[in-house]
Each structure stands twice: as structure tokens, then as C-alpha cells.
Amino acid sequence: MNFRIILLSALVVLSTALTHTNTDTCTPTRGKIYHPGNDHQFHDTINQFDLVVADFYADWCGPCKQMHKVIDDLATDSECDDILFIKVNTDVHRGLSHQFGITGLPTIILFVDGKPIKRLHGYHSKRDLKAAIKSTFRVPQA
């Protein structure tokens, strides 16, 4: 009897948490990391912001996990305040993966005014990725 009550209580809590965790309401902000809820939100976002770094990853990918740390650091770097960072889970957003021809992970795509300008494959150090961002986006040196 007690087991059933505990199980039902846990299911109610889990159900409530899942219904109130809605990524569709997440608003992208420059200098932050955005996780689009669907493909439409991704496209709206890359068209809304001038400079976007999109990190295509999968949870099971080791190099992707290393890149998360790099992306997280760059998102808080004051020299990257005008850039929006987007993380796209390729297992969830298969349509975007297909559309952008993602065949290896991680893949970083730099967008300017909604258009893909540069593509980087594999792991890159913070210094190397920052240099690629600066040269692509023509970010002035501090």
C-alpha cells in the first residue's frame, strides 16, 4: 500500500515537472546560450540575431561534451557579448541536422544575418574557436 502511494506521488511530481519545463518559452539573449524548442524557433532566432554560433551536438558524443565547456566559457566572455550561442541536439532536431548536412559531431556553424558563413568540425580549444569567431564576425580586438 505504501509503495503504491509513493509511486503515485512520484509520478504526479514528475508529470508536473515535465509539463512546467517548456523550452518553447525560453527567450534567446545575446551572450547567453539558447536551446531552441523546435526547428521553427531555431530559424526565427538565427534570423533575429546578427551573429550566431550554433553548436550541433549529441549527448552521447565525448568531444561534444568538451565543446560544451568551451561554448559555456565563450558565452560569458565579454568580447562575445554581441553573439548568441545556440546548442542544437542532433538527436532531437533531426530536421535541422539534415538541413545543414551535419555528418560529424560536434559541428559548429557561424551564422551572420541568418546565413551560414563558416563551419567547424570536431573539438576546438577556446582560443582557437574565439579566433575563428573573431575572424568570421570581424570582432575588434580588445
What's the one-letter identity of residue 119?
R
Cis upstream peptide for 106 (omega within 30°) = yes
26 counts as catalytic? no
φ, ψ dihedrals at 10, nearest 5°: -65, -40
The DSSP line for 60-101 is T-HHHHHHHHHHHHHHT-GGGTT-EEEEEETTT-HHHHHHTT
Which H or E element spans position 115? strand 115-121
CA 113/CA 46 separation, integer angstroms: 7
- State the catalytic residue, choosing from 52, 53, 64, 80: 64
- 64 a catalytic residue: yes
Catalytic position from the list 52, 53, 61, 88: 61
Instruction: Tell me the catalytic residues.
Output: 61, 64
